[in-house]
Amino acid sequence: MNKRVHEEPAFVLQRHDWSESSLILEVFSRHHGRVALVAKGVKRPTSQFRSVLLALLPLHLSWGGATEVRTLKAAQWQGGQLLPPGEALLAGYYLNELLLKLLAREDPHPTLYDHYAQALALLAAAAPQAGVLRAFELLLLRELGWLPALEQDAASLQPLRPEARYQLQVQGGLREVPDTAGDGEAAACSADYWLALHAALQQGSVWPSLLPLCQQDRSGALRRQLRAALHYHSGVREFQTRRWAQQVQRFVGSRAVVPV
């Protein structure tokens, strides 16, 4: 059946050349999830879509078709938000890569869509990138059902001990790290930090409380643990945007450009 969708809130995640004048788009829509669209003739100078179909911009898209790759019918910028500036642009591409690697086609996640839109708005407003990325990673894992309970020890199912440190293991949840293990031996966070993250994730409006907590990850322990979980569930050893960030770091001579 030819399914028509009208003015669906969506973001372009990725673009591929399809012919001399057309593109294949991977888009993330609020009510239909990740969808593949063909934008016919979009590369022609006269196309009305040419300046609209950019990644990281909030759009309204209309499409139709009965095949796996639908046909784009209309596209309009929602307005009110510009592209993230400078280094934040690469952080936005990192979020796109996470969605491409971890979301199945046509599997709607409207709550995750709203979190993604909020993350891009914060990056465009020059919010601290590390905090935005860590918060979105936590929300992504939770939405997909891969974030274990953060208020209990997975081995004993008992509440976290206040004086202990715990490591997030991808197949085992939070496990206590022995006192003899140094920071260099195992990425771990204090029980108080995990409990604060758990409490923030329970809030109806999650970003105001979660973002400041994620900004506290100055040692990178949370980043390393979440990265291990994302690599495991995506099946990739390294995200392409991380390689891009490392290349930028080498080019500009900076130790930390984009915290992906």
Q: Is 189 exposed, middle or buried (0-12, 13-18, 19+ CB in 10 A)?
A: buried
| One domain, residues 138 and 243 | yes
Are 25 and 148 contained in the same domain? no
Evaluate whether residue 257 is within a structural domain.
no
Name the DSSP class of 165. E
- Whether 17 maps to a domain, the answer reads yes
Residue 120 forms part of a structural domain: yes
DSSP structure string for 103-137: PPBT---HHHHHHHHHHHHHHHTT--HHHHHHHHH
Closest-CA residue to 226 (of 197, 192, 183) = 197
Do 172 and 71 lie in one domain? The reply is: no
Does residue 259 belong to any structural domain of this protein?
no
Same domain assignment for residues 177 and 70: no
Q: Are residues 209 and 141 in the same domain?
A: yes
Question: In this structure, how many other beta carbons lie within 10 angstroms of the beta carbon of residue 29?
Answer: 22
Range of the domain at 92: 88-252
- Report yes or no on 244 lying in a domain: yes
Q: Hey, what are 101's tokens?
A: 């690697």
Residues 6+ apart with CB under 8 A from 188: 165, 166, 167, 177, 181, 221, 225
Q: Are residues 116 and 217 in the same domain?
A: yes
Which of 43, 77, 111 is the endpoint of a domain?
A: 77
Predicted local distance difference test score (pLDDT) of residue 141: 98
Based on the fold, state whether residues 110 and 222 are members of the same structural domain. Answer: yes
* pLDDT tens per residue across all 260 residues of the chain: 568 999 999 999 999 999 999 999 999 999 999 999 999 999 998 888 888 999 999 999 999 998 899 999 999 999 887 888 888 999 999 999 999 999 999 999 999 999 999 999 999 999 999 999 999 999 999 999 999 999 999 999 999 999 999 999 998 899 999 876 555 446 899 999 999 999 999 999 999 999 999 999 999 999 999 999 999 999 988 898 888 777 776 776 655 556 88
Tokens 């715990």: give the residue.
166
Among 47, 77, 107, the domain-final residue is: 77
Shared domain for 25 and 100, answered yes or no, is: no
- Same domain for 52 and 125: no
Q: Is residue 153 domain-resident?
A: yes
Q: How far is Cα 245 from Cα 225, in angstroms, rounded to an integer?
A: 19
**Are 42 and 106 within one domain?**
no
**Quick count: other Cβ atoms within 10 Å of Cβ 165?**
23
Residues 57 and 158 grouped into a single domain = no
Whole-prediction pTM: 0.92
Distances from the Cα of 250 to the Cα of 52, 75, 253, angstroms: 32, 38, 5
Pick the last residue of a domain from 21, 42, 77.
Answer: 77
Asked, for residue 260, whether it belongs to a domain, the answer is no
Query: How many domains would you assign to the chain?
Result: 2
- State residue 38's pLDDT score: 96
Query: Looking at residue 231, which CATH number applies to its domain?
Result: 1.20.1440.120
In a domain, 83, yes or no: no
Whether residue 62 sits in one domain with residue 127: no
Residue in 176, 170, 186, 171 with CA at minimum distance from that of residue 153 = 176
Four-CA torsion 93, 98, 100, 102, nearest 10 degrees: 180
CATH classification at residue 67: 2.40.50.140
